[in-house]
Amino acid sequence: MTRIVIVGAGPAGINAAETLLAHGRQPILLDEGRQAGGQGYRKPSPGLRLDMNALMGSEASKYQALHERFESLRGQIDYRPGTLVWGIDGKTLHLQQDGRATTLDYDALVIATGAMDRIAPMPGWTLPGVFGLGGAQVALKDQGCFIGRRVAFLGSSPLLALAARQYRALGAEVVVIADTTPFVRKLAALPALLNSPRTLLRGLAYLGGAMRAGVPVLHGVTPLAVAGDGHVESLLIRDAKGRERRFACDAVALGYGLKPETQLAELAGAQLAYDEAFRLWLPQADADGRAGDGLYLAGDGMTIGGADAAEASGALAAHALLADLGIPSDAAAVAALRRRASRLRAFQRGLSQAFAWPVAQIRALPDDVTLCRCEKVSLGEIRQAMAQELGPTEVNRVKAMTRCGMGRCQGRICGPALQEIVAGVGNIAGAEAGRLRMQAPIKPVALAAAKAGAS
Amino acid sequence: MTRLSADVAIIGGGLIGVWSAYFLAKRGQRVVLLEKDVVGAQSSGTNFGNLRLQGRFPGQYPLSLRSQALWEQIETLIGDACEFEATGHLYFASSEDEWRKVEAYAAVSESHGLTIEHLDHVDLRRRYPWLSDKAYAATYSARDATANPRLVTPAVARAAKGLGVTIVETCRVTELRTGDGAFSLATDTGLSIDCGQVINCAGAWALAIAEQFSETAPLFPAGPPQFVTEPFPYFIRPSVQAVDGTVIFRQIPRGNVILAGYPRTAADPVANRAPVPLAKTLAAMRHLGAAVPALESCHVIRVWSGIEGYLPDMIPVIGPSLTTPGLFHAFGFCGHGFQIGPGVGLCLSELIVDGETQTPLAPFSIGRFTGAVEADEKFRREFDATPAAGNKP
Ligand SMILES: Cc1cc2nc3c(=O)[nH]c(=O)nc-3n(C[C@H](O)[C@H](O)[C@H](O)COP(=O)(O)OP(=O)(O)OC[C@H]3O[C@@H](n4cnc5c(N)ncnc54)[C@H](O)[C@@H]3O)c2cc1C
Ligand SMILES: Cc1cc2nc3c(=O)[nH]c(=O)nc-3n(C[C@H](O)[C@H](O)[C@H](O)COP(=O)(O)OP(=O)(O)OC[C@H]3O[C@@H](n4cnc5c(N)ncnc54)[C@H](O)[C@@H]3O)c2cc1C
């Protein structure tokens, strides 16, 4: 029997598993996390009691539903939590589970690895107390703790208002929601946003709630600095009217939308192409998620679509896989899923303009700002390396010359900003700046795991 | 179409090419260097960075030692130290059998004037308490060194450029013609070059050029996989190598441990790929953990390899063409060309300008491949028998 492996137990992976099971196939479902649910629908750690209704707000019922569906599924599939896929060699997955390196062969693979925060650096962003926006949510949902008592939310993302609402719902003080995209660009994106009026209204409601509670909500800001002596003490920005404003706070959550986790797709053989709207390299797949022979992509790991699109695309990928195995499935259901996924993705394209990646701001950052925090490489070092005789003009060579992107995170954090800097200095298109090439391990693997795996 | 004329055209902007250009320019030659990608992006920029003197091919010591002397003055020569450091190199044996082999290597090194310390098990425990107590004995050479390969080739290229060398990147030499004691080179960018002499130092791609002049060598591409750990407090100063080839490692002062190990894997010079099979990553990690138990909690964060040209007798081709006056070959460095790179460049400049060099190069003649080829003893177990499946392209 064809061995089907799904990587990622978020909404996409769970829906893929459910669809496969409904058609008589039992997939193996791997997730690095200890609990299923993925990022948005993350469950509190066992033993931690959190008011998930208050936390999830209008999405509480979807959160409940997904976890209930998963519970009824888990006994019937081969679910392996705590299992990191760190590499792919041909049709063999390399795993790390309970501190041991093992392997797992597959015939068909569904990659539903989701996304992570996209970060733009700024002066002071490496100070303790600055978190990725997603990290701020993980701290809350997984551990029930705040990243600070008085938190500033900065970046350009609909999740800023969402996370701020979650923080307020559980009792933290939100000192500002500061968005770098000007208000007029949000208006310009309205037609695309009307693809999902419900989500649009929800986003507006979060902002309305914050404003009614007296939280300053600013658009079109320029981040100037996170300041503090050994720890965050304030956030300094320039507002749309050109005034400098300082907000006292003890933590900053930074987020510029999400960035698909494409490493496994790349190692499995998916082609990547540069997307001008998101300004990211995205794996290529057909409308149902086919990305190669026996290779299927779903959810935010393929292209940012949000949790609802992830659910639809997970089911779609499973239908595609079943069809390729010659197993008939419901054509009307597939057509409906396609319409739904495509509408939701069109909405996300609108979001990518309403909450734009601040290219000009990144390129204007001063030389002393750290770009790569793993290797402590500043923007000035990149510019200097590129300016010298026979200097590098493409991201992989810049990495070789400066170490930017060479550290623990392998450029997952600094990569998008590096791309903009290189394109800016070289005065070339984003795509021409190249793409940081991936080699396994996609996440660090301990020597001890290799030893334990061999015994 | 642009035409350039020069005394010498150099094909290949790796370490060999840029050092040749540098020394030729110092002797007043007009030099054009052509590189199909960018300088130092292939083997020369991806290697392990070891400048090892111990355990080399005996006939290479004069060249190696001359080259090391150049490395030792690199900052004076090009104005950039490129992280050169005389870290020393420890060659360890895990059994009495192996130890005999290490001592035989040491005898050769010593006969060429290299100072070698012989360390028994007790010395090892005392001096390198972090080394596994399975290490039986070792030799240590203080003059062995390391440098940062990512930085060196572009830095030498800049120095050469400063001396007047013309460097053309993203320009592949496609065709060479010769007649009347001169050459004309065609490239894929339309640039053509007229020159009196040519150096073929095109690395793993060099055969295509040699064969245009009816010369050949059993050159094949392979890549030794390399791995690096996250930073760990700095405690390993020398480069350390197991004589059985299972592991070689060094720690850089910023903390990362770089490691490599046999066997080497097949590389693809056409697709420009040198994938690292994951089973090798795991094997290398196990060998490092066995050699330095304190590193077991450490994580590997990154792997890479490169495309190196190998020859079955594990020594390079260096010297004049036997069919075509004015053409010089320097390729097939078999994984040890970083150390001899500056020396090779200097010798080639002497061959071209003076017609001779003080350094014996006879063992490296391309003429040795006219008869049957003898495979080196170490050869078989140091390469994968079959090409790696690798990651899918
Ligand atoms: C930190 C964060 C917080 C978010 N919070 C919200 C929110 O509050 N509300 C909201 O509407 N949206 C939120 N989003 C967006 C929302 O999570 C996504 O749209 C949705 O979860 C996408 O679902 P998915 O199944 O594609 O991926 P995810 O839900 O991200 O699931 C991917 C899963 O894959 C696993 N995985 C990834 N790589 C590997 C690997 N190599 N080996 C093994 N397992 C792996 C991960 O552990 C994860 O469980 C958030 C996103 C992020 C990144
Ligand atoms: C992973 C790895 C680890 C190694 N470790 C060590 C070590 O620790 N110590 C050591 O001494 N040595 C080591 N080596 C070997 C060493 O790196 C090489 O021997 C040395 O760099 C060879 O230099 P080169 O200039 O001949 O080759 P290259 O650096 O490969 O340069 C050849 C150049 O020619 C160019 N070229 C090819 N064809 C054409 C054409 N037609 N037109 C124009 N340009 C062309 C190529 O693009 C390339 O840049 C290692 C090698 C590898 C791959």
Helix%, strand%, coil% for chain A, nearest 5: 40, 20, 40
Assess whether B207 and B229 both reside in one domain.
Answer: no
Query: For position B266, what pLDDT does the model report?
Result: 87
Please report whether residue B81 resides in a domain: no
Indicate the pLDDT class of residue B389, thresholds 50, 70 and 90. very low
Strand partners, B229: B300
A400 and chain B: CB distance < 8 Å anywhere? yes
pLDDT tens per residue across span A39-59:
999 999 998 888 888 888 888
The token pair that represents A126 in the structure block: 């490496």
Does residue B387 surpass a pLDDT of 60?
no
Q: What is the pTM of this model?
A: 0.94
B228 lies in the same domain as B137: yes
Same domain, B98 and B189: no
Q: Is residue B73 part of a domain?
A: no
Q: Which residues contact A455 (CB under 8 A, 6 or more apart)?
A: none
What's the pLDDT at A16?
98
Query: Taking 70 as the threshold, does the pLDDT of residue B48 lie above it?
Result: yes
Range of the domain at B40: 2-49+150-217+312-371
Q: B109: domain CATH number?
A: 3.30.9.10
Whether residue B207 sits in one domain with residue B324: yes
In a domain, B265, yes or no: yes
Judgement on whether residues B235 and B361 belong to the same structural domain of the protein = no
Residue B238 and residue B361 in one domain: no
> A105 burial class (0-12, 13-18, 19+ CB within 10 angstroms)?
exposed
Residue B384 in any domain: the answer is no
Copy the structure tokens of residue A128: 């303790």
Q: Select the residue from A447, A451, A455 to test the B interface by mutation, using most B Cβ atoms within 10 A.
A: A447
For residue range A275-286, list pLDDT tens digits in order. Answer: 999 999 999 999
User: Which residues, including other chains, have CB under 8 Å from residue B45's CB and lie 6 or more apart?
Assistant: A400, B149, B150, B153, B306
Are B167 and B291 in the same domain?
Answer: no
pLDDT tens per residue, range B3-18: 999 999 999 999 999 9
3-state secondary structure at position B314: coil
Q: Which pair of structure tokens corresponds to residue A376?
A: 């402590």
B177: CB partners within 8 A, 6+ apart: B183, B184, B185, B186
Q: Which domains does chain A have, with CATH numbers?
A: 4-116+259-352 (3.50.50.60), 119-256 (3.50.50.60), 365-433 (1.10.10.1100)
| Substitution candidate for ligand 1 out of A30, A39, A63, A254 with most atoms within 8 A of CB | A39
Domain count across chain B: 2
- pLDDT classification of B374: cutoffs 50, 70, 90: low
The β-bridge partners of A296 are A110, A290
**B46 phi, psi to nearest 5 deg:** -115, 5
| Nearest alpha-carbon partner for B203 in B344, B301, B384 | B344
Has residue B389 been placed in a domain? Answer: no
Residues in B lying within 8 Å of A, measured between beta carbons: 38-39, 41, 45, 150-151, 154, 157-158, 161, 167, 169, 229-230, 275-279, 281-283, 285-286, 288-289, 295-304, 389-393
Domain's final residue, options B277, B305, B333: B305
Does any CB of chain B come closer than 8 Å to the CB of residue A57?
no
In total, chain B counts a number of residues equal to 393
**Position with higher pLDDT, B11 vs A305:** B11
Last residue of a domain, one of B305, B328, B345: B305
B235 and B285 within one domain: yes
pLDDT at A4 over 50: yes
Domain assignment present for B246: yes
Query: Which of A84, A89, A102 has the highest number of chain B CBs within 10 A, making it the mutation to test binding with B?
Result: A89
Last residue of one domain, picked from the residues B282, B305, B328: B305
Is residue A324's pLDDT more than 60?
yes
Contact at 8 Å (CB) between B7 and B30? yes
Closest CA–CA distance from residue B125 to any residue of chain A (Å) = 23
Ligand nearest the Cα atom of residue A62: 1
Average pLDDT in the A126-152 region? 95
Strands A217-218, A173-179: pairing is: parallel
Strand locations in A4-121 (E): 4-7, 28-30, 78-80, 83-89, 92-97, 100-105, 108-111, 115-117
Task: Name the closest ligand to CA B188.
Answer: 2
Q: For chain A, what percent of residues have pLDDT higher than 70?
A: 100
In ligand 2, the atom with minimum distance to the C-alpha of B316 is: 19
Kindly tell me if the per-residue pLDDT of B327 is higher than 50: yes
pLDDT band (50, 70, 90) for residue A349 = confident
pLDDT, greater one: B382 or B166: B166
pLDDT value, residue B392: 29
Backbone angles phi, psi at A34, to 5 degrees: -80, -20
> Is pLDDT of B379 > 90?
no
Residue B113 burial (CB < 10 Å; 0-12/13-18/19+)? exposed
Answer yes or no: do B297 and A440 touch at CB < 8 A. no
- Let me know whether B115 and B230 are in one domain: yes
pLDDT > 70? residue B376: no
Phi and psi torsions of A312, nearest 5°: -65, -45
Kindly report the average pLDDT of chain B as a whole number. 94
Neighbour count for residue A138 (Cβ, 10 Å): 15
Residue-wise pLDDT for A215-258, tens only, equals: 999 999 999 999 999 999 999 999 999 999 999 999 999 999 99
Structure tokens at A121: 């650096």
Instruction: State mean pLDDT over A373-402.
Output: 96
Q: Is the pLDDT of residue B264 over 70?
A: yes
Same domain, B235 and B132: yes
Is there a domain that residue B208 lies in? yes
Question: Do residue B155 and residue B282 come from a single domain?
Answer: no
Helical ranges in A38-182 per DSSP H: 52-56, 60-74, 133-143, 158-169
pLDDT tens figures, B106-116:
999 999 999 99
Considering the domain architecture, whether residues B232 and B261 belong to the same structural domain is answered as yes
Rounded Cα gap, residues B291 and A430, in angstroms: 44
- pLDDT of B391 reads 32
Q: What is the percent of chain B where pLDDT is above 70?
A: 95
| ipTM of this complex prediction, to 2 decimal places | 0.93
Atom of ligand 1 nearest to the CA of A166: 8
Higher pLDDT, A235 or A351: A235
Confidence at residue B180, expressed as pLDDT on a 0 to 100 scale: 86
pLDDT single digits (tens) B56-65: 999 999 999 9
Q: What is the mean pLDDT of chain A?
A: 95
State the average pLDDT over residues B251-268: 92
Give the C-alpha separation, A338 to A341, whole Å: 5
Region label for A331, one of left (φ > 0), alpha (ψ between -120 and 50) or beta (otherwise): alpha
Give per-residue pLDDT as tens, B287-296. Answer: 999 999 999 9
Alpha-carbon span B262 to B246, nearest angstrom? 6
At residue A54, φ and ψ (nearest 5 deg) are -65, -40
In a domain, B99, yes or no: yes
Ligand nearest to the CA of A268: 1
3-class secondary structure, B145: strand
Supply the CATH number for residue B185's domain: 3.50.50.60
